[in-house]
Amino acid sequence: MKISVIGTGYLGAVHAAGMASIGHDVLGADIDAAKIALLAGARPPFFEPGLPELLQSATASGRLAFTTSLREAATFGDLHFICVGTPQIVGSDAADMRFVNAVIDEMAPHLKPGSLIVGKSTVPVGTAAALQRRIDAVRGPNVIEVAWNPEFLREGFAVQDTLHPDRIVVGTAGTAARETLEQFYSSLIAQGIPFIATDLPTAELVKVAANSFLATKISFINAMAEVCESAGADVTTLATAIGHDTRIGSRFLRSGVGFGGGCLGKDIRAFRARGEELGAGAALGFLAEVDSVNMRRRVRVIDLARGLLDGSVAGRRIAILGAAFKPNSDDIRDSPAMWVARRLHELGARVTVHDPEAIDNAQAYAPELTYAREVETALEGSHLTIHLTEWDQYAELDPTAVMRLVDLPNLLEARNCLDVESWAAAGWHVTALGRSLKNRPPHQSGPGGLSMTTIPTQIRGEQYA
Ligand code: UDX
């Protein structure tokens, strides 16, 4: 089929290339000319594993092209996927619908009769119906139809999630649109990927419900981490033990500094705001707690850093391992690592940030911090090392070798994925979120012995707002 994809961020660029790779003719459109110039040269404007290869093969096949003209996109083909951002409004919890509305307003007069608009952006429930009214006001009833097809891709795995999704969900008002989308995704459905066809509000809700569940799961284990810190227990063992229960499952139970990124935080806030509007605020009140558990973990890292440096970070050199909100991404939106780095800087620390891919984005966002292209440079002379993004590169560091670089071998493990025993055995003084060694046998092997801090029972209150 011939389709256009409007908005070429993480979602749209991968969807455009992915759909071309399964045989559709795709025109990607974006108002950002610099982004389009890169994509037209088969170069992604952001770091995403597998995307360069996918863009190259799709472009070479002649089935993928890009434009900055929404009018051209409106007249190209019969399906138009809306993939523009719906960020949080500054000073509010609600989602900003300006970009979605602007795309619809610009395209509506030019769309071919019988075209289908397919929303993929994460939106407040009721948006599809509102967009249908908006289009009908320009084109009259029954000329252009709006459907919803939420996207569940994760950054870092976006190509895999687009070509092999766990499920395909489509919301439509009528059967013709459903059949069109079933046909569109037929090659994926043939692989056995579940196809769930439903109404518009259910399809819109599936996305925010899924992200709310994931955020809740992470905050649940981080709430347990707080309890473990007070009780002298170990949250990583607790997570392993409860994760063996197949009803619970072990994924998304990794405790640490919490979730960030462009989706989970803003989606749970926007969902709550929409719930209030719908008179269902009480049902979603728990999401406020999910949000505050998450933010408290960031504050906890600051408090632990102060504690490890005798009460004040002022003038102390701190190496920050990681800037991206998660590994295999250069995205720093709402990154816990950047939050911690900036706060420590505000408190007077001399912060040096390393990240394998996100340094350019981080530097543009927080130019006041010092950045290092090599992890060894960040560690040089540091009094405290904080591990904040779980890149493989950090798990592969040799604790004995890097210990020679630092002034003080203090490690604060805020992602619970380093082999802390080997760091402690090498002589590092290791503190890990939600863990203590109270119930563990003493470790004899390393030169310094095991020196993992028992986390103090009191969490000093500090506002994060
Ligand atoms: C998320 C959803 O997973 C995806 O389905 C949706 O389409 C967009 O939002 P993404 O933002 O790419 O995807 O990241 P995700 O892998 O969900 O991780 C979000 C954050 O949670 C990261 O900061 C990650 O480090 C953190 N996380 C994840 C944890 O702290 N613990 C975990 O166990 C898992």
For 20-53, the pLDDT digits (tens) are: 999 999 999 999 999 999 999 999 999 999 999 9
256 in a structural domain: no
DSSP states along 84-137 = ---PBPTTSSSB--HHHHHHHHHHGGGSPTT-EEEE-S---TTHHHHHHHHHHH
What phi and psi values does residue 32 have, to the nearest 5 degrees? Answer: -85, 105
pLDDT at 373 over 70: yes
Other residues' Cβ atoms within 10 Å of the Cβ of residue 338 = 27
User: Ligand 1 centroid vs 154 CA: distance in angstroms?
Assistant: 7
The finding on whether 152 has its CB within 6 A of some atom of ligand 1 is yes
Distance 399 CA to ligand 1 centre (A): 28
pLDDT recorded at residue 216: 98
- Does residue 339 sit in the same domain as residue 194? no
Work out the end-to-end distance of the chain between its first and last CA atoms, rounded to an integer number of angstroms. 48
Q: Is the dihedral of CA 230, 235, 238, 239 positive or negative?
A: positive
Residue-averaged pLDDT of the chain: 93
Is the Cβ–Cβ distance between 321 and 402 less than 8 Å?
Answer: no
Nearest CA to ligand 1 atom 34: 252
Nearest atom (ligand 1) to Cα of 336 = 23
Average pLDDT rounded to a whole number, residues 384-396: 98
Residue 326 has pLDDT above 60, yes or no: yes
92 lies in some domain: yes
Looking at 83, 228, 263, 417, which residue is catalytic? 263
Distance 381 CA to ligand 1 centre (A): 33
The answer to whether residue 276 scores a pLDDT higher than 70 is: yes
In a domain, 233, yes or no: no
Q: Predicted confidence band at 436 (pLDDT cuts at 50, 70, 90)?
A: confident
| 333 lies in the same domain as 444 | yes
Q: Which of 198, 232, 251 is the last residue in one of the domains? A: 198
> Cα dist. 198→124, 165, 418 in Å?
17, 18, 43
Query: Is the shortest distance between the CB of 239 and ligand 1 below 6 Å?
Result: no
Q: Which 3-state string (H, E, C) describes 324-381?
A: CCCCCCCCCCCCHHHHHHHHHHHCCCEEEEECCCCHHHHHHHCCCCEEECCHHHHHCC
Residue 394 structural domain: 292-449
Q: Residue 303 in contact with residue 460, Cβ under 8 Å?
A: yes
Query: What is the number of the ligand 1 atom nearest to the C-alpha of 327?
Result: 25
CA nearest ligand 1 atom 30, residue: 258
- Choose which residue among 47, 51, 151, 154 to substitute to test ligand 1 binding: the one with the highest number of ligand atoms within 8 A of its C-beta: 154
**Helices in 232-335 by DSSP H: which ranges?**
235-243, 264-277, 286-308
**304 and 189, same structural domain?**
no
The tokens for 433 are: 């979120």
* CB 124 less than 6 A from any atom of ligand 1: no
My answer on whether 194 and 296 are in the same domain is no
Supply the residue whose CA is at minimum distance from atom 3 of ligand 1.
154
Verify that 332 and 434 share a domain, yes or no.
yes
| Best residue for ligand 1 mutational test, from 123, 211, 264, 334 (most atoms within 8 Å of Cβ) | 264
Quick check: is 250 in a domain? no
Give 128's contacts (C-beta < 8 A, 6+ positions apart): 119, 146, 147, 148, 171, 200, 201, 203, 204
Q: What letter represents residue 437's amino acid?
A: L
CATH code of 45's domain? 3.40.50.720
pLDDT level of residue 277 (50, 70, 90 thresholds):
very high
Q: Whose alpha carbon is nearest atom 20 of ligand 1? A: 259
Amino acid at 431: T
Q: Flag whether 205 is in a domain.
A: no
Tell me the angle at which helices 264-277 and 286-308 cross, rounded to the nearest 10 degrees.
150
Of all protein residues, the one whose alpha carbon is nearest to atom 27 of ligand 1 is 259
The residue type of 164 is H
Ligand 1: distance of its center to the CA of 377 in Å? Answer: 29
Instruction: Decide if pLDDT at 453 tops 60.
Output: no
CB 443 within 8 A of CB 424: yes
Is 457 inside a domain boundary? Answer: no
Ligand 1 centroid from CA 1, angstroms: 32
In the prediction, which pLDDT does 188 show? 98
Residue that terminates a domain, selected from 183, 198, 213: 198
Tokens representing 326 are: 């998660």
Rounded CA-CA distance 464/54 in Å is 41
CB of 253 closer than 6 angstroms to any ligand 1 atom: yes
How far does the centroid of ligand 1 lie from the alpha carbon of residue 157, in Å? 11
What is the SS3 assignment for 197? strand
The pLDDT assigned to 451 comes to 37
Q: For residue 279, what pLDDT is reported?
A: 98
Question: Which residue's structure tokens are 């608009």?
Answer: 117
Residue nearest to atom 32 of ligand 1 (CA): 252
Average pLDDT over residues 281-302: 98
Ligand 1: which of 218, 224, 269, 333 to mutate, judged by most atoms within 8 Å of the beta carbon?
A: 218
Q: Are residues 30 and 177 in the same domain?
A: yes
| Domain closes at, from 171, 198, 225 | 198
User: pLDDT at position 172, please?
Assistant: 98
CA-closest candidate to residue 112, choices 130, 135, 137: 135
The answer to whether residue 78 sits within a structural domain is yes
Whether residue 256 has its Cβ less than 6 Å from ligand 1 = yes
The sheet with strand 116-119 has its strands ordered as 64-67, 25-29, 2-6, 79-82, 116-119, 145-148, 168-171, 195-198
CA of 153 to the centre of ligand 1 (A): 10
My answer on whether 35 and 156 are in the same domain is yes
Does position 408 have pLDDT exceeding 60, yes or no? yes
Contact 454, 423 (CB under 8 A): no
Q: Is 207 in the pocket of ligand 1 (CB under 6 A)?
A: no
Nearest to 144 by CA among 173, 169, 184, 124: 173
Q: How remote is the CA of residue 259 from the centroid of ligand 1, in Å?
A: 6
Q: Identify whether 218 is part of a domain.
A: no
Mean per-residue pLDDT, 184-194: 98
Task: For residue 101, report the distance from its CA to the centre of ligand 1, in Å.
Answer: 27
Domain tally for the chain?
A: 2
3-state DSSP assignment of residue 195: strand
Q: Is the CB of 275 under 6 A from ligand 1?
A: no
The pLDDT value given to residue 211? 98
Q: Does ligand 1 come within 6 angstroms of the Cβ of 261?
A: yes
Instruction: Assess whether 81 and 188 both reside in one domain.
Output: yes
Nearest atom of ligand 1 to the alpha carbon of 251? 33
228 is a catalytic site residue: no
Which atom from ligand 1 is nearest to the alpha carbon of 254? 33
pLDDT digits (tens, 9 = 90+) for 43-91: 999 999 999 999 999 999 999 999 999 999 999 989 999 999 999 999 9
Q: Is 268 in the pocket of ligand 1 (CB under 6 A)?
A: no
